[in-house]
Amino acid sequence: MRGFVFLTICFLTQSIFAQNVDVINNNDVRIDSLRSTQIEINKAMRGVEGYRVQIHHNQSQSREESQKVRAQFSSDFPHLKTYLEFKSPYYKIQVGNFVDKLEAHKIQKEISRKYKGTYIVPAIVPFEEVVKN
């Protein structure tokens, strides 16, 4: 009797969970329009919104000092791409191209062992870097 009850329960649960569902695909013209608009925005920005890790900024007029920090960083972390940027009055060195903030945080944690005062900044990440990942 117990076996019969067990088989009946198994059969009923299988029939409950095994539902036949038809998937209906409705292509909305508005979604296609939004997609093409976003593609045009990304082309105009020459990339997508992402993140970099800023390792250095200095307010002096000495570009050479920033170049030295950049060269030292490149020898310490050769797998990360570096960027030297001047926004008056600061020279800034930023590294990496990350679409995901979590990935940027992982690298920032690794870098901060050797370079103190690093932090994550928003940046435009080139398309080539997004496709690589």
User: Quick one: residue 42, left, alpha or beta (phi over 0 = left, psi -120 to 50 = alpha)?
Assistant: alpha
Q: Do the beta carbons of residue 115 and residue 82 sit within 8 Å?
A: no
Q: Could you give phi then psi for residue 131, rounded to 5 degrees?
A: -70, -35
User: Quick one: residue 18, left, alpha or beta (phi over 0 = left, psi -120 to 50 = alpha)?
Assistant: beta
User: What are the residues whose beta carbons fall under 8 Å from the beta carbon of 126, sequence distance 6 or more?
Assistant: 46, 47, 97
| Whole-number pLDDT of residue 104 | 95
Compute the distance between CA of residue 13 and CA of residue 73 in angstroms, rounded to an integer.
Answer: 61
Compute the distance between CA of residue 78 and CA of residue 106 in angstroms, rounded to an integer.
Answer: 16
Compute the distance between CA of residue 101 and CA of residue 122 in angstroms, rounded to an integer.
Answer: 9
Compute the distance between CA of residue 9 and CA of residue 96 in angstroms, rounded to an integer.
Answer: 57
Task: Report if pTM > 0.75.
Answer: no
User: Quick check: helix, strand or coil at residue 26?
Assistant: coil
pLDDT digits (tens, 9 = 90+) for 20-78: 666 677 777 888 899 889 888 877 878 888 999 999 888 766 788 888 889 999 999 99
| Whole-number pLDDT of residue 107 | 94
Domain topology for 47-127: Alpha-Beta Plaits (3.30.70)
pLDDT digits (tens, 9 = 90+) for 83-115: 998 888 888 999 999 999 999 999 999 999 999
As given in the structure block, the two tokens for residue 94 are: 């930023």
Domain definitions of the chain by residue range: 47-127
